[in-house]
Structure formats: C-alpha cells, structure tokens
Amino acid sequence: MKTVFLDVASLAPDDLDLTPIRQQAGTLALHPTTSPEQLSVHLAGAEVVIVNKVVLDARTLAQHPQLKLICIAATGTNNVDLEAAQRLGIRVCNCQGYGTASVVQHTLSLMLALATRLQDYSAAVKRGAWSRSEQFCLLDYPIMELQGKTLGIIGYGELGRGVANLARALGMRVLIAARPGSEQLDTPSDGRIELSALLSQVDVLTLHCPLTDQSRNLIDAAALALMKPGALLINAARGGIVDERALADALCSGRLGGAAMDVLSVEPPSEDNPLLAADIPNLIVTPHCAWGSVEARQRILVQVGENIAGFKNAVPIRVVGIE
C-alpha cells in the first residue's frame, strides 16, 4: 500500500513523532507542500492520501481511480469534494477534537491579554515610559477585571463549552447565543438567547461557530453597534464571521474596547487587510495558531494513524460524507 502526505509542512512536523502514521502507511511519501501542478505526480499510485489544506476536487479524484482512502489531517472537509469521493467509492476520514485544549487555552490567553492591556504595557516599558515615570507604576491603559463581567459565546460545541468553563472559574457570567440562522432557540434549557439580545449585554464576545452562509459577516457594523461601549471581541473560529473593515472602524473610533483575532478572512492575509494596519488600538492578531500546540498536532498524527488502521481492518472510524 502506498500512502502520500501532500502537505506535511502544514503541521510543522519537526517537533512531532510520525510513528503513528509510519506504522500503518505501508510505503509513505512525505511532501512538504503540493502545488496544483504537482498534485497529479504526487498522487500517482497512491491508495491512501493524507491532506490538510490541498484541494482534492472531483476532477482530481476521477483521474486517480486507485485512491481508496482520504485522511484529512484536520476537522474541516471543505477542501475535498465529498460527493465525488462518495460516488467514486473513496472513503474520507477526518480528525476530531484534537485541538480543544489548545484553542480554549489560546482564547483565554487572548481574553486576559485584552483585559489587562498586556501588549500596551509591555510596549510602554520597552519604549522607556516606565523609566521616565514620576510614579512607581504605569496606569496609562484601563485594566478590566473579568470577575463579574458577562461573556457571550457564539458556538456552544466542545470549544464553546471549554471556554465557558474557564470563564466561570474566573467568576464571569456566561450567555450563549442561539445558533446563527435558526428561527427558534435550539435548546431553551441551555439558556440560549437571540444574538441581538446577547450582544447588548456582554462585556466580552467570543466566537466558536463554523463559517456558513448564515454566519458569514455575522459580526458586522450593525452587530458591533449593539455591543456595549468598551466591550471586547475574540475570534478563534473563522475569519469570515467578522466584517474586518467594520471591526477596524469600531476599534479606531473607540466604540469597541479591544479585539483579538486568530483567524482572518483570507489566509495568509494580504498586506492591505484592514486589521493589519499599524495604528489600530488594543488589537491582537495571531496567525491561526490557536489549534497548534505540540500536543494537538501530535493528536492529529495519532488519529490519522488510527483512521488508516480502521480502513485496513474494515472497521472505519471518523468517516465523513454527504447526507
């Protein structure tokens, strides 16, 4: 059996152990990246393909009838034509739940950094403002205590629940938004409320929902205007959920107290992305790294190995497809 990993560099594997894949893969070819021009060559003769972000469309799949299994080294499946794979008899498996602890930890880190103005105080010290101070301390930027504040969560799956648990440990009140696009509240027993009602109450809003037609630009200028003056926004979900121009404007006007984004609408971002401007106050942008702890990336390799073993033993796991 020949197995190819088309974009192993996407997992930054230098600090990882590839043994879980090597033990199951038969002959294994590791490609750091795969361009569209290289795709056909890299797939030649492979029965199993491991892929993170390389696109496997219907035409590509049809050109390689020897393919039997696609292992997605991530949860999202939008880079694989699932309908074509099903039609061609190619099983597709993904990875699930591997990054929960990492993303929850990153989200809390961003919340704390915004609330304490960590970046601003660190920068002030480096430019000598503390050394020139007439007092023993600097208090140039307002610090928010999270205890007693209200956190709003959009997307209450495993990630949203994990963030809620940590927020409650800090003494925060937690509100959960109804699912974007739903006409009625999903589970009133969960205390979910309509988004417009939630936005006006929260001191911090954090996003953990998928990007869909209903959630695209969900947090736009109108939504930001409903939030409390000085509120904080955190997005460790998908960049397209937030209108980036509207967010930049809300921060620059002082309407919003701060924001932290681990994701942007286009990745890698263009240099003219409005959130990459140098003069936006209390904005933190991290490069889609919330999921990427060593432990989380190693779990991906373990799950991919398990998926291949399940396929070989005719007991498939983590199978994805179309309804």
Of 67, 55, 154, 145, the closest CA to residue 107 belongs to: 154
- Asked if residue 210 has a cis previous peptide bond (ω within 30° of 0), the answer is no
C-alpha 153/C-alpha 178 separation (Å) is 9
DSSP element (H, E) containing 305: helix 294-312
Q: Which residue among the candidates 192, 238, 297, 318 is catalytic per the annotation?
A: 238
Task: Kindly state the tokens that stand for 191.
Answer: 């205390």
Q: Which residue among the candidates 83, 145, 267, 295 is catalytic per the annotation?
A: 267
C-alpha 204/C-alpha 202 separation (Å) is 5
Reduced to 3 states, what is the DSSP secondary structure of residue 11?
A: helix
Cβ atoms 279, 36 nearer than 8 A = no
C-alpha 292/C-alpha 12 separation (Å) is 9
Cβ atoms 20, 304 nearer than 8 A = yes
Rg, the chain, Cα only: 22
**Beta-carbon contacts of residue 294 (< 8 Å; ≥ 6 apart):** 15, 16
Q: Which residue among the candidates 22, 161, 173, 288 is catalytic per the annotation?
A: 288
Verify whether residue 288 is a known catalytic residue: yes
C-alpha 304/C-alpha 49 separation (Å) is 11
Amino acid (one-letter) located at 222:
A
C-alpha 101/C-alpha 189 separation (Å) is 26
Q: Tell me how crowded residue 169 is: count the other CB atoms within 10 A of its CB.
A: 9
Active site residues: 238, 267, 288
